[in-house]
Structures are given as C-alpha cells and as structure tokens.
Amino acid sequence: MTAFAIRAILSGIIIALIALVSRKAPAAGALIASLPLISVIGMIWLWRDTTDPLLLANHAEATFWYVLPSLPMFLLMPWILRSGHGFWVALVAGIATTILLYLITIVIAARFGVRL
C-alpha cells in the first residue's frame, strides 16, 4: 500500500506541476505534459515489480500504438474551442474521438499481427 501511495503522490505532483506551469507559460506546461514522464515512471515501476523484459517490451510497444490515436485530440480540442464551443464540449468530443480511434487502432493493428 505504501508503494501505491508513493506512486499516486508522485503522479499527482507531476499533474499539479503541469497545471501550475501552464498558468504562466502554456507552451512550457505543454512541453512538460508532452514528455512521456508517466510512461517512463510506469515502466520503471513495472520493471521494479516484475523484472520481466518481455512484459516490459510488450507494454512499451502497446504504449506506442496507443499514443498515435490520442494525438488528434490535441488538434480537435483547440479547433472546437476556437469555434466558440465550451471546454466541456471540446473535452468530451476529444475523448470520444480518442476512444473511437483507439478501437480502430486495435482492429487495424490486429490485421498486422499486433495484439493490443
């Protein structure tokens, strides 16, 4: 339970740091958010817990495939917001689009032998 609490606190600090920096410098906050810090930390914890190279390799590869369909959200949301719609509309549209693209990615990847 202690390890879980430490992991949750560290992740929360990173998210809070992103929000704090973004208030003063949106581009700097975006840069921090774009770093794969959570992925790297997750891989470190996965390695620490399992020391299984195949499991870690599968995790890293799946992360790559799931990052790709998440990217359009970061273009769709600004477009919706600049079109005069509210934050929640933009967020829901971004999340819904990402979920749809995840499902499409899973189907397409399976056709090429990649299991996600």
pLDDT at 34: 86
Q: What is the pLDDT of residues 51-67, one digit of tens each?
A: 999 999 999 999 999 99
| Contact partners, residue 56, CB within 8 Å, separation at least 6 | 43, 46, 47, 50
Helix axes of 53-70 and 87-111: crossing angle, nearest 10 degrees: 130
Predicted pLDDT at 78: 98
**Separation CA 102–CA 62 (nearest Å):** 11
pTM value surpassing 0.95: no
Nearest to 93 by CA among 105, 85, 82, 104: 85
Residues of the chain whose pLDDT is less than 70?
none
Q: What pLDDT, on the 0 to 100 scale, is given for residue 7?
A: 85
